[in-house]
Chains A and B, each alone.
Chain A
Amino acid sequence: MEGENICEVDSGDGLGADIISTVEFNHTGELLATGDKGGRVVIFQREPESKNEPYNQGEYNVYSTFQSHEPEFDYLKSLEIEEKINKIKWLPQQNAAHSLLSTNDKTIKLWKITERDKRPEGYNLKDEEGKLKDLSTVTSLQVPVLKPMDLMVEVTPRRIFANGHTYHVNSISVNSDCETYMSADDLRINLWHLAITDRSFNIVDIKPANMEDLTEVITASEFHPHHCNLFVYSSSKGSLRLCDMRASALCDKHSKLYEEPEDPSNRSFFSEIISSVSDVKFSHSGRYMLTRDYLTVKVWDLNMETKPVETYQVHDYLRSKLCSLYENDCIFDKFECAWNGSDSVIMTGAYNNFFRMFDRNTKRDVTLEASRESSKPRAILKPRRVCVGGKRRKDDISVDSLDFTKKILHTAWHPTENIIAIAATNNLYIFQDKVNSEMH
């Protein structure tokens, strides 16, 4: 009964330009935007469920594709600026058009997506092709009428927020006031007004006077979903800082610092690297924060700064492999994390095209795989298991045969339903839980 739409589109130009680099649902879940390494944005739209075509219920189809960013060259530094889309964030919809922000390493752009499904016909002075009519042939007046046409989706760049960042932009976040947004790079966070492109305000600056003293960078940041004055940013040392913009213009001094003391029994050379937070997300309620570091996901209560309230092991079996992972750079992979709509389940990606979900209430977790082989029509995903030795069941994967080139870094959860979008390299998977389609 589950609709499924495998599109056997040949992918891969050998350059990896279509590796998906970000996935984001809009606020209703009707649209899903993906950005890729080649600077393109592809928007999917969910088919409205209708009785007439039961097989197409809830499917996502391509709605629009456009080139958001182009590669650039920084002449001053003689370096290329990648066109890869780092983040996409939807703006809350305020009229018939949809808007989203997309960013690469340096430039943020505001795109407006509009539909056109009618056009006027019957002009008096112009003919069908638009050429001026010979006035002598016009004998009567007519009122142009709107006639339906094939749906056309137009995407236009409305704002370009350039030259705001010296370092690489890693996150953007729209404020709940719907007027401002912030963009964060490795060392600074800027506040922009959506309508003003030639000015931005610096609200966090952790660049030391002497760059030799630099030991910590900003890795992610987000505005609080309800309080327009609060935002959080995470660092490469595993700390979170909650800042209040009312306190001062420059929020270098945090209001709250969330940091968990290191577990001495787990100390190793790589303790700092694996504690680096790769993603931070507020819960929908605004009460909690979710952070992802290399081996765990943690739920923090905003009211408790000393330690997270929940910690979930994503792939602890990698703890003994950290040196190899350091050598092949996998230890620097930045995994994202996501809440479900009711904040009861959290999800994050792992290697071998596995992704994990943790139910906060029942404390149960599941490992699923996003692969073409397991995504047959109407297939139900089978839970997977990684075995570390000892008893090994059929279909278990051993740690040594995990494919570390297949990593699921980007995941997104529908805001209200149990639908998830998983980006596996250059493939996009959308899974739906039809059994439990309502959030609990």
Chain B
Amino acid sequence: MSRGGRAAKLTLKYAPSPADAGGSRAEAGAGSWNVLFCRGGCAGPGSAAACAPRSRAPSDARKAAAPRYMLGKGGKRKFDEHEDGLEGKVVSPTDGPSKVSYTLQRQTIFNISLMKLYNHRPLTEPSLQKTVLINNMLRRIQEELKQEGSLRPMFVGASQPADPLSDNFREAQPAFSHLASPPLLPADLVSTMPLESCLTPASLLEDDTFCTSPAVQHDGPTKPPPPALQPVKDSFSSALDEIEELCPAPTSAEAVAAEPAAGDSKAQPSESNIHKPEGLLESRTAESKLMDPLPGNFEITASTGFLTDLTLDDILFADIDTSMYDFDPCTSATGAASKMAPVSADELLKTLAPYSSQPVTPNQPFKMDLTELDHIMEVLVGS
């Protein structure tokens, strides 16, 4: 039975008219319920209890926290259609086109669940039932991903969640940090990203285009990037997308090939985003999808010290086209960077962010304002 779309059948739930109800005493309450009493708020005039007069406040104001209506995200409409088609029927991952929707929905639910656990800062203890249900949801999705992504054990490295369910579960912040952040990305992903990975992965040529690990396998021992790189996700995730896409546009491939440093395709961020077709979602690994969610998800993990990772510094400074300015920040800066406090790296990210989001056409050198560069150097040197 198809439950797709809005045309689901609804059995008639309509009580007889009051005339009918009046005639048949056998139906209690069918259509003859009358208003006996209706009051709101505090004590009435007859009561002497302390009930201070209060000004009328619109109920909407109180309900501001929860969205008033369910629809309201225009962007979700398409998703809802997928959803309608999905809900209510068993979707196995081997179904054809529905796998896209399935994985997309699963990813969305995963993200929402994480947000719920971490963005909540209650004054009172959060509901244990809610925490447990969200936790179970995350576990289930994790299990599924584990089974699907069994070729990539690094993701699975995140062990079972621990803290949210302890007696101090309200301190949910640290709980899932290990769940959300697979092991630190070794430098090899960045520095050894082979250019060959930009070529069409062999898996594309297979009949079954929905196998779970198309591109990354091709690359060899690639490791999933940690979500801690969220702050530069615009550039980095898109680079990853590039690599794993089935059929990147020629410009993207050229762009990657044109980069001097290996694998530092971070310079062409949004361009590849634009080129990325919708239908290629299924080819992306689960890990890369983890980076898709709203940046807010991983704020907490991003602040827990990943920024001191040398790898990140490599990425940052690899963006700079040093040949143009006869300036070599990689060696000296990297050396200095290893002593950087997280805060400094943060500033750097902010500085570089505007640059990374600019679309860059291939062959266009990566320009950077000299003053900005000076500023960065000052920060590095700590003056």
A residues near B, CB below 8 A? 2-7, 9-16, 18-19, 40, 42, 44, 58-67, 77, 79-82, 105, 166-168, 186-187, 211-217, 219, 236, 264-270, 272-273, 276, 316-317, 319-330, 332, 340, 342, 344-345, 357, 359, 361-362, 364-368, 372, 375-381, 383, 385-390, 399-405, 418-420, 425-436, 439-440
Contacts and interface: CB of A to CB of B under 8 A. Distances in A.
B241 to A, nearest CB: 24
Contacts of B49: 64-66
Contacts of B59: 12, 405, 425-426
Contacts of A433: 28-29, 32-34
Interface in B121-180: 122-125, 127-130, 132-133, 135-137, 140-141, 160-162, 165-170
Contacts of A19: 62
Contacts of A268: 86-88
Contact of B54 (A13, A82, A325): A13
Contacts of B44: 7, 9, 61-62
B54 A11 contact: yes
Contacts of B133: 236, 272-273, 276, 332
Contact of A366 (B29, B46, B170): B29
Contacts of B89: 265
B68 interface: yes
B42 A390 contact: no
A268 B137 CA distance: 11
B13 interface: yes
Given A62-B47, A272-B136, A387 B28 contact: no
B34 A434 contact: yes
22 contacts: A2-B35, A3-B36, A10-B53, A44-B37, A65-B49, A79-B123, A80-B123, A217-B132, A236-B129, A323-B112, A332-B133, A345-B29, A378-B35, A388-B8, A389-B8, A403-B69, A404-B66, A425-B59, A427-B41, A428-B37, A431-B36, A436-B28
B325 interface: no
Contacts of B88: 265-266, 268, 319-320
A366 B15 contact: yes
A234 B148 CA distance: 34
Nearest to A82: B124
B342 interface: no
B10 A388 contact: yes
Contacts of A375: 35, 38
Contacts of A6: 38-39
Contacts of A64: 47, 49
Given A186-B128, A399-B6, A433-B33, 10 more contacts: A77-B170, A168-B127, A211-B165, A219-B129, A332-B129, A362-B26, A427-B38, A430-B38, A434-B32, A435-B25
Q: In this complex, which of A322, A323, A385, A420 has the most chain B Cβ atoms within 10 angstroms of its Cβ?
A: A323
B20 to A, nearest CB: 10
A405 B69 CA distance: 8
Nearest to A367: B13
A214 B175 CA distance: 14
Contact of B127 (A65, A332, A344, A402): A332
Contacts of B205: none
Nearest to A2: B34
Specify the main secondary structure of chain B where it touches its partner. Answer: loop
Contacts, number: 334
B109 interface: yes
A404 B40 contact: no
Given A16-B62, A62-B47, A388-B8, A404 B36 contact: no
Interface residues of B, number: 98
Contacts of B40: 7, 9, 11, 426-428
Q: In this complex, which of A40, A214, A215 has the most chain B Cβ atoms within 10 angstroms of its Cβ?
A: A214
Contacts of B35: 2, 4, 375-379, 381, 429-431
Contacts of B105: 269, 323
Contacts of A166: 167
A435 B36 contact: no
A276 to B, nearest CB: 7
Contact of A380 (B32, B53, B79, B162): B32
Nearest to B3: A320
Q: In this complex, which of B3, B50, B62, B67 has the most chain A Cβ atoms within 10 angstroms of its Cβ?
A: B62
A139 to B, nearest CB: 38
Contacts of A388: 6-8, 10
A18 B41 contact: yes
A101 to B, nearest CB: 20
Contact of A11 (B3, B56, B137): B56
Nearest to B58: A12
Nearest to A332: B130
Contacts of B38: 4-7, 372, 375, 427-430
A18 B87 contact: no
Contacts of A426: 40-41, 59
B80 interface: yes
Given A269-B109, A388-B10, A405 B66 contact: yes
A383 to B, nearest CB: 4
Contact of B14 (A186, A270, A273, A383): A383
B10 A62 contact: no
B15 A345 contact: no
B324 interface: no
B33 A380 contact: yes
B1 interface: yes
B55 interface: yes
